[in-house]
Amino acid sequence: MMPIRRCLPFVLLLLTACASGPRVQRTERLAVPLAEQVDVELRLTQRQIRVAYDVSNAGGAAAMQVAATPGGVAGGSFAGGAAAGLIGALIDTAVTAHRGNVAKERERPIHANTADLPIDEMIQRSFDALDRKQFAENLVLKKLDQAEADDASAKRLEPGSNILVLDPKYSVSYDDSFFAYVLNVRLVDRTKDAKGRITSKERYRQSIQYVLPQSGSPGGVRWSDLTSAQWRQVLETATGETVAMLNYDIGAYPSEAQPQRRYGNMIVLLDQERGERAWVRTGWSLLSVPVSQLKAKK
């Protein structure tokens, strides 16, 4: 089965076009430091930079519209609707397969230019900068190569409190317009019931995203033409900034009264400006974006 690759900022830009500001989500207000010891699960399930693409659903939607239209396939009958749905599914499968093949071709030069980069090690080293005053004096990091859901299905999860789950992803957008490094973060308490089942209580969740437009790449060079040294620069900047954002956000309790700005199709809350970068909020996300790409809300 072809893998489905998504790039969260791209999905948000397409789907979130709100007239009012986003509602900032918080499970609870956390007291810092969190505890004397925090167990950190660093889940490294991605090995290479990807080109993100989405599964097509345009064919199915169009086919259903035709089937429901008077005079459409079999006049909107059940059989006609089923036939239209099958045609739409076949179209979507072909479109998605084409996108996957295009993405794979675009990845080839990127993979060749980053073959010597120890990306997993670079990501792991970035968490040396976790602020012990915010988390815990004793941080115990475990590197894992399985997704949390896979460990849950295989009953490999262990009970514990103040478990910080880190799941980094990174990709170039399908249209080459930006690179995104996304650090998905959860703080959970896990308990085991009398039947040995693990239940997780989520206390904090955030998608921390560093977005770099093509124009901001080293020398303005295309992603496929960046050298190993240039990719190292991009990744070190992205991983370093997302850890700084996590250090800040874990003890923050943001307000919906923050100034609103327009970023692409989104209305975002401006948390702070840091030189040429701005940290902005959208619901469960904290993004680092260029200040130059923020516009006044009209």
* pTM (predicted TM-score): 0.84
Q: How confident is the model at residue 5 (pLDDT cuts 50, 70, 90)?
A: very low
The larger pLDDT score, comparing residue 276 to residue 12, is at 276
User: Is the per-residue pLDDT at 80 higher than 80?
Assistant: no
| DSSP assignment string, the chain | -PPP---HHHHHHHH---SSPPPPP-S-PPPSS--SEEEEEEE----S-EE------HHHHHHHHHHHSTTSGGGG-HHHHHHHHHHHHHHHHHHHHHHHHHHHHHHHHHHHHTTT--HHHHHHHHGGG--TTTS-SEEEEEEESS-HHHHHHTT----EEEEEEEEEEEEE-TTSSEEEEEEEEEEEEEEE-TTS-EEEEEEEEEEEEEEEEGGGSGGG--GGG--HHHHHHHHHHHHHHHHHHHHHHTT----TTSPEEEETTEEEEEEEEETTEEEEEETTEEEEEEGGGEEE--
Tens-place pLDDT, residues 115-144: 999 999 999 999 999 999 999 999 999 999
147-183 core/surface letters (b: 16 or more CB in 10 A; e: else): ebeebeeeeebeebbbbbbbbbbbbbbbeeebbbbbb
**Is the pLDDT confidence value at 7 over 50?**
no
Phi, psi at 6, each rounded to 5°: -130, 150
pLDDT(88) > 50: yes
- Provide mean pLDDT across the span 107-118: 97
Q: What's the whole-number average pLDDT of the chain?
A: 86
Query: What's the rounded Cα separation, in Å, for the pair 248 and 238?
Result: 15
Provide the pLDDT for residue 240.
98
- Does 94 have pLDDT greater than 70? yes
Q: What percent of the chain has pLDDT over 90?
A: 69
Q: Which residue has the higher pLDDT, 48 or 10?
A: 48
Q: What is the mean pLDDT of residues 2-29?
A: 53
Q: Where are the domains of the chain?
A: 8-49+114-296, 53-113
| Confidence check: pLDDT of 188 > 90 | yes
Residue 79, pLDDT score: 57
* Torsion angle, alpha carbons of 26, 32, 38, 42, to 10: 50
In the predicted model, is pLDDT for residue 166 greater than 70? yes
Residue 268 near residue 18, CB atoms below 8 Å: no
- What per-residue confidence (pLDDT) applies to 147? 96
pLDDT at 197 (0 to 100): 92
Would you state the pLDDT for residue 70?
A: 52
Inform me whether the pLDDT recorded for 49 exceeds 50: yes
Q: Are 235 and 117 in contact (CB under 8 A)?
A: yes
Write down the pLDDT at residue 11. 41
Report which of residues 179 and 17 the model is more confident about.
Answer: 179
Specify the pLDDT at position 282. 92
**Highest mean pLDDT: which range of 16-30, 47-61, 218-232, 252-266:** 218-232
Residue 203, CA atoms < 13 Å, CB-side half-sphere: 15
pLDDT at 273 over 80: yes
How confident is the model over 225-235, as a mean pLDDT? Answer: 98
Residue that wins the pLDDT comparison between 99 and 108? 108
**Has residue 99 got a pLDDT over 60?**
yes
